């Protein structure tokens, strides 16, 4: 026997651990019906689950293009094009609002000097000839312009090509103008100094400048023939210029082809335009006249390359061009026997 009290004599909840309410009183008055027991092979879920509710149909959003490695470049080009377009539009507006100006002669900028409208041929011959001088500062030659007529008869140029270019003969069509160089010596030779290659190159340059001025300011001229002065005791040569051959020089300003300063005899070969002058005047022609077998009658001015022409006799009375002894022979042939 012990002194410990009988647990049955203890108070119902001495430590307050028992719930104060009866747990049975907390249950609902009506318990849910019990689920019948499952048979063999049955499951806790329904044999046919309910169909899910249909979801509303939503329209697909448009696809957004993805950026590529070229996107920044395209954006830059697009911005540049828009900027150029804006500048062009502004320029067009400015031009349209600008007051109109009188038209400018396109030939005015080709050369600082230009001939008068009423006397262009004589003005060109006078202007160009005074620019070319001998070492003594005398004028190199007297330049006389003339139409392509002989003894009052109209002439046509019969051009013989060199053999290496085919050797053909062609009649040039269009209007021709001639310039005769005379040095006031025997048979129009230059009366002072010696005939040198430098002096001949200077004469060729003068002939080229005359042709350029003529084609630029006289629209009716298609060919220019320049009769050069002969060396003493020799027959003179001539140069032929055709408008189509000089078109590049007629489009750009004169001083883009020929130097602004006219060279001297001693300085012509070192002039900046020496190579161009040599190129454009490299073919010298011997000239002769022959009656044309046409109706009405006329004259052929025959131009034959100097390299294929027969050497002229070295006499003091040999002619400087087709306007001397050839004219006498022409006159005799026209008069008949």
Each residue's pLDDT tens digit, 20-61: 656 666 666 555 556 556 566 555 544 555 555 555 555 555
Q: Which two tokens stand for residue 186?
A: 């025997």
Q: Which two tokens stand for residue 153?
A: 């008869």
Which band of pLDDT confidence, cut at 50, 70 and 90, is reported for residue 337?
A: very low
Output 69 or 182, whichever has higher pLDDT: 182
Question: Is the pTM value of this prediction over 0.75?
Answer: no
Whether the predicted pLDDT of 122 surpasses 90:
yes
- What is the b/e burial string over 117-132, where b = at least 16 CB atoms within 10 angstroms of the residue's CB? eeebbebbbebbbeeb
| 210 three-class SS | helix
- 55 pairs with which residues across the strands? none
Q: What angle do CA 173, 174, 179 make, to 5 degrees?
A: 110
Whether the predicted pLDDT of 215 surpasses 70:
yes
What does the pLDDT look like over 260-280, one tens digit per residue?
Answer: 999 999 999 999 999 999 999
Least confident of 74-88, 257-271, 284-298: 74-88
Whether the predicted pLDDT of 235 surpasses 80:
yes
- 170 pairs with which residues across the strands? 159
Residue 240 near residue 285, CB atoms below 8 Å: yes
| 298 three-class SS | strand
- Identify the H or E element spanning 152: none
Output 81 or 65, whichever has higher pLDDT: 81
> Alpha carbon of 213 to those of 76, 191, 289: distances in Å?
52, 27, 27
Output 74 or 119, whichever has higher pLDDT: 119
- Identify the H or E element spanning 19: none
Which band of pLDDT confidence, cut at 50, 70 and 90, is reported for residue 250?
A: very high
CB atoms within 10 A of CB 34: 6
């Amino acid at each position: 026997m012990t002194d410990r009290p009988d647990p049955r004599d203890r108070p119902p909840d001495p430590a307050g651990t028992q719930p104060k309410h009866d747990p049975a009183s907390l249950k609902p008055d009506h318990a849910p019906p019990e689920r019948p027991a499952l048979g063999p092979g049955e499951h806790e879920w329904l044999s046919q689950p309910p169909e899910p509710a249909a979801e509303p149909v939503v329209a697909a959003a448009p696809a957004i293009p993805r950026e590529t490695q070229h996107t920044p470049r395209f954006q830059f080009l697009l911005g540049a094009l828009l900027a150029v377009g804006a500048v062009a539009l502004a320029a067009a507006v400015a031009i349209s609002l600008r007051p109109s100006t009188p038209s400018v002669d396109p030939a005015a900028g080709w050369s600082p000097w230009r001939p008068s409208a009423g006397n262009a041929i004589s003005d060109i011959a006078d202007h160009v000839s005074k620019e070319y001088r001998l070492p003594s500062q005398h004028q190199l030659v007297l330049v006389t312009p003339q139409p392509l007529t002989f003894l009052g008869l109209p002439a046509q140029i019969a051009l013989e090509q060199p053999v290496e270019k085919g050797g053909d003969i062609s009649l040039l069509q269009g209007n021709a103008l001639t310039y005769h160089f005379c040095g006031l010596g025997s048979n129009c030779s230059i009366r002072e100094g010696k005939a040198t290659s430098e002096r001949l190159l200077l004469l060729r340059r003068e002939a080229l400048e005359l042709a350029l001025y003529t084609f630029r300011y006289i629209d009716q001229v298609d060919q220019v023939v320049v009769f050069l002065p002969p060396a003493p005791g020799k027959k003179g040569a001539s140069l032929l210029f055709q408008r189509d051959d000089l078109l590049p020089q007629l489009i750009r300003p004169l001083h883009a082809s020929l130097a602004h300063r006219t060279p001297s005899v001693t300085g012509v070969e070192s002039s900046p335009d020496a190579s161009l002058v040599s190129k454009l005047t490299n073919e010298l022609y011997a000239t002769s006249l022959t009656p044309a077998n046409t109706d009405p009658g006329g004259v052929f001015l025959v131009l034959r390359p100097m390299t294929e022409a027969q050497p002229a006799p070295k006499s003091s009375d040999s002619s400087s061009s087709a306007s001397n002894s050839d004219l006498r022979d022409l006159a005799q042939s026209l008069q008949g026997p």
